[in-house]
Amino acid sequence: MSKFRNLVIGTALISAMAAPVWAEKIGLGRPALPEEIAAWNRDVSPDGTGLPEGSGDVLTGEDLFSANCASCHGEFGEGVGNWPKLAGGKDTLADDDPLKTVGSYWPHLSTTFDYVQRSMPFGNAQSLSPDEVYAIVAYVLYNNDLVDEDFVLSKENFAEVVLPNAGGFIVDDRETTELPIFTREPCMENCKQTVEITAHASVLDVTPDVQDDTAVVAEPAAEPAATETAVAEPATAEPAVEEPAGVDPALAAAGEKVFKKCAACHKVGEGAKNASGPVLNGVLGRVAGAAEGFKYSSAMAEAGANGTVWDAATIDAYLADPKGFIPKNKMSFAGLKKPEDRAAVIAYLAGFAQ
């Protein structure tokens, strides 16, 4: 369990114990109820302490993973776009660019279980039952070739699962070994004669690629005119999206803010492409499951084949209850419960033509 989580839980428990004192002094609050404390106490330790009762098998986990996780992590844990990969990477930790997954890097299965139970699926955290969490974790193990397809994970056999990199971690002793060596009074001015680029990032391509690095550092004002021109040049400004007739600009503006909940998976605007969810340019009037190049769930494709078209009414119904409107589709987001939020998002999407 992380120090941060210990701190959060410890703070909650201390606050609960101190509540009667504060309540008496200033007349606010009440002691936390046992069930309220229990709701915070969800952490799972490597030895299985904190696990709920339950079990789940690989095949059940496959269906659950497809419905709740695959839109971001891929059908087999291979990852979609920049969303994390959960499988693969065996024997890559010594590489220049290692692939760190549950099977290649994580030390304890409890980390996987705890994270799924606490934070997943994206946008609908803590909606999974213990049996569903066990099944999804079993499927993740299967995708890492750590268990067979008939494997059933449960509270009873949880501690028997040892991940490949369990012995690859050491105790963090930097506080006692390194901190004393490097602790000194900080330099606050004139700390270095010159500033030079001495190394380049090996993977991220974030360091400027020039032949003379020192020239870039030594002459920061070499191209002021170009910078000013770039800022002043009207052609470089992003064109404003014109609202179609009948769309309330204020409502569309409100929808842009609400859409931030959707933007992690769905893209709109010039140059938008499919991500873990389909691009939503031109979605109004589009047949369900018809965005070019996107791999839809069979449920969504079937809805389109049966004549579902995305208009204001169908989008509103879908956003209110995605799983209820089209059962077994892959979108894990719980939906927008406020009618005004749904109306705002629809107005916002209306501004993006195909």
> Would you state the pLDDT for residue 7?
46
Q: What whole-number distance in Å separates Cα of residue 37 and Cα of residue 42?
A: 10
Other CB atoms closer than 10 Å to residue 228's CB: what's the count? Answer: 10
Tell me which DSSP letter residue 190 carries: S
Burial track 103-122 (b if 16+ CB lie within 10 A, e otherwise): bbbbebbbbbbbebbeebbb
> Would you state the pLDDT for residue 69?
93
Q: Which residue has the tokens 């971001």?
A: 72
Q: What whole-number distance in Å separates Cα of residue 339 and Cα of residue 319?
A: 9
Q: Which residue type is seen at 329?
A: N
pLDDT in tens, 95-123: 989 999 999 999 999 999 999 999 999 88
**Positions of the chain with pLDDT under 70:** 1-24, 202-246, 332, 354
Q: What is the C-alpha radius of gyration for the chain, rounded to an integer number of angstroms?
A: 26
- DSSP-assigned beta bridge partners for residue 309: 287
Task: Confirm if 284 and 300 have CB atoms less than 8 A apart.
Answer: no
pLDDT in tens, 125-172: 999 999 999 999 999 999 999 999 999 999 999 999 999 999 999 888
Non-local (6+) Cβ contacts of 305 within 8 A are: 289
Domains defined for the chain, CATH in brackets: 1-41 (no CATH), 44-173 (1.10.760.10), 249-349 (1.10.760.10)
> Would you state the pLDDT for residue 239?
40
Backbone torsions φ then ψ of 156, nearest 5 degrees = -70, -40
Read off the tokens for 90: 């065996």
Nearest to 132 by CA among 199, 55, 185, 189: 55
Please compute, for residue 308, the number of CA atoms within 13 A of its CA located in the half-sphere on the CB side: 18
Task: Confirm if 247 and 347 have CB atoms less than 8 A apart.
Answer: yes
> Would you state the pLDDT for residue 203?
64
58-68 and 130-143 helices, crossing angle to 10°: 100
> Would you state the pLDDT for residue 237?
42
Torsion of CA 293, 297, 303, 304, to 10 degrees: 10
Q: What whole-number distance in Å separates Cα of residue 77 and Cα of residue 140?
A: 7
Q: Which residue type is seen at 197?
A: I
- DSSP-assigned beta bridge partners for residue 154: 55
Other CB atoms closer than 10 Å to residue 207's CB: what's the count? Answer: 12
Q: Which residue has the tokens 């499919």?
A: 274
> Would you state the pLDDT for residue 243?
44
Q: What whole-number distance in Å separates Cα of residue 149 and Cα of residue 130?
A: 20
Q: What percent of the chain is predicted at pLDDT more than 90?
A: 45
> Would you state the pLDDT for residue 343?
93
Task: Confirm if 77 and 101 have CB atoms less than 8 A apart.
Answer: yes
Q: What whole-number distance in Å separates Cα of residue 296 and Cα of residue 287?
A: 12
Nearest to 100 by CA among 5, 165, 162: 165
User: Which CA distances in Å does 51 have to 119, 133, 167?
Assistant: 16, 11, 22
